[in-house]
Amino acid sequence: MPVARPTAVASHGGLSHLPPLAIDPTVRAAIDQILVQLRRAQASLTGARPADPAKAESYSAWMQRNNELRGRPTMYPYVGAGFGHGLLVELADGSVKWDMLSGIGVHMFGHSDARMVEAALEGALSDLCMQGHLQHNTDVLAVAEILASEAARTSRLRHCFVTNSGCMANENALKICQQKTQSAPRILAFADSFMGRSTTMSQIGDTAAYRQGLVLNTLVDYMPFYDAALAEESTRTTLALLKQTIARYPKQHSCFVMEVVQGEGGFNVASREFLVALMQTCKNASIPVWVDEVQSFGRTENMFAFETLGVGEYVDVATVGKLSQVCACLFTPEFNPGPGLLAGTFSSSTSAYHVGARALEILRTGGYYGPSGRIAKLHQGFRDCAQDLVRRRPEFFPPVLDGAGRTLPSVIGGIGAMLRLTPLGGDKDRLVAFLKILFDEGVIALTCGHGPYHLRFLPPLGVMEVAQFKPVFAILEKALEKALEKTN
């Protein structure tokens, strides 16, 4: 059966972004046949399965070569076979895993989704493999238009500059802010933030290991993130420090970059009151407000987390990425930079633009957002399963102490499609060892936080069903049993 196609997906000024060959009837029939074969092949993937012993030797050789080329082992022995079915991914050793990480939030529609495959095939029919900033097709305008129009719903963001990585989007945002403030040298950021892996972003991000050995030439002033246990006191404390820092360095800050929902820092969520107090203070001091949504974009109850938290009116610059496939920096008319500041040879691949446009269109029109949307229901499904596990197996969940020595009120956290669970007391070494057991049993996850540490789940909620939490949590429980056996 042919895939239902949106009739106005990613258009600009009435122009379709599909290449001419993609609408040829013969080509369309060929694409439809490919998708039929894909669905037939996917019928064999129904759950996790162990590796094929016959492939052990060849897979070991793949991993050895992988580690030699990288110079160090990867966290997981992961080499994909290039095939999957939603949450399920097949590896080159024949094993099948439940992917609850989705490339750290990139693969919102999982593995081998027919709609994404179709979009990629359409992109492959274009005259260009890579789009650029000097010369590009309507594909670029299609994605930029969706992002800009969605952002404009609740903010003054109007312009969109696309690029091929979240880190590069952040570099562009910083340049815009620095130009606007006439080269102000300092940056305000939250403690436990993560910005990317470039030289500058590694210095702004608050993880010592990521900047070890780098020349530190970026001046950063860190503000405490919102502490829900302290509520109004947290706001007063951070606000006082912000005002003190601004007074100490008048007109020296190019921006306050804010992850309104922290990703790597632990899936921490700020309150609106906290954010408004800080943002308004920045506005009063003419300090640009830049919201980094490279990880949170699309994963809360609105496409933009700043809309979910009701702070769009304060945002001057925003950066997005991951699930959009193509990353971008958005900004208000007042922050439109001078010519030459933003440029680059490549912006991203044509297929990435097609897949990104298809994913964004499905997300914004498919009932995913809002308090009764798909993401909200799946988040509740996760909490229900997590609460059941915590109730039945308290031995997996000893008290967790935060950085101030207080016991966390709950081992379940996160927002929307950013899901967090904290077993084993939040101990880093125990969790890292556990994640390897979990991987072997058939579930892929990661950690987040800087102490305590948490299990981080970024599942492909574009395709996930609530019922699929059940087999995932069954494996999670089994893996926790094995982890406890090893430590007892």
162 and 112, same domain (yes or no) = no
Q: Which of 56, 89, 124 is the last residue of a domain?
A: 124
Residue 427 in domain: yes
Q: Is residue 11 part of a domain?
A: no
* Within a domain: 3: no
Query: What does the pLDDT read at residue 16?
Result: 59
One domain for residues 196 and 332:
yes
- 137 and 243 fall within a common domain: yes
Kindly state the average pLDDT of the residues 447-455.
95
Predicted model pTM? 0.94
Structural domain boundaries, residue 158: 130-365
60 with 173, same domain: the answer is: no
Give DSSP secondary structure letters for 253-299.
Answer: EEEEEE-SB-TTTTS-B--HHHHHHHHHHHHHTTPPEEEEETTTTTS
User: Is 318 contained in some domain?
Assistant: yes
CATH of the domain at 212: 3.40.640.10
CA distances from 45 to 33, 39, 40, 42, 113 (A): 20, 10, 10, 6, 13
Same domain, 268 and 172: yes
Vertex 368: Cα angle to 411 and 357 (nearest 5): 115
Instruction: Please check whether residues 135 and 113 belong to one and the same domain.
Output: no
- Does the residue 275 lie in any domain? yes
> Are 115 and 149 contained in the same domain?
no
**pLDDT band for position 6 (50/70/90)?**
very low
Peptide bond into 2 cis (omega under 30): no
302 and 316: one domain? Answer: yes
Is the confidence at residue 41, as pLDDT, over 90? yes
Residue 9 above 80 pLDDT?
A: no
pLDDT of residue 173: 98
What's the one-letter identity of residue 152? A
Closest by Cα among 198, 300, 287, 209 to 259: 300
pLDDT in tens, 398-443: 999 998 899 999 999 999 999 999 999 999 999 999 999 999 999 9
Among 365, 390, 408, which residue terminates a domain?
365
The residue written with tokens 């989007």 in the block is: 169
pLDDT at site 12: 35
456 with 401, same domain: the answer is yes
Mean pLDDT value across residues 292-318: 97
Q: For 241-286, write each residue's pLDDT tens digit.
A: 999 999 999 999 999 999 999 999 999 999 999 999 999 999 999 9
Please tell me whether residue 375 adopts helix, strand or coil conformation. helix
Count of domains forming the chain: 3
Considering the domain boundaries, does residue 15 fall inside one? no
pLDDT at 404: 87
Mean pLDDT (whole number) for 383-411? 96
Digit-coded pLDDT (tens) for 65-124:
999 999 999 999 999 999 999 999 999 999 999 999 999 999 999 999 999 999 999 999
Write the DSSP symbol of residue 76: S
- Confidence band of 52 (pLDDT split at 50, 70, 90): very high
Note whether 217 and 310 are same-domain residues.
yes
Residue 430 lies in a domain: yes
Indicate whether 60 and 152 sit together in one domain: no
Residue 473, CB half-sphere, CA atoms under 13 Å: how many? 18
Of the pLDDT bands very low, low, confident and very high (cuts 50, 70, 90), residue 7 is very low
Rounded to an integer, what distance in angstroms lies between the CA atom of residue 322 and that of residue 326? 7
Please give the pLDDT value at position 14.
42
Whether 6 maps to a domain, the answer reads: no
User: Per-residue pLDDT for 10 more than 80?
Assistant: no
- Say yes or no: 330 and 397 in one domain: no
The CATH number of the domain where 400 resides is what?
A: 3.90.1150.10
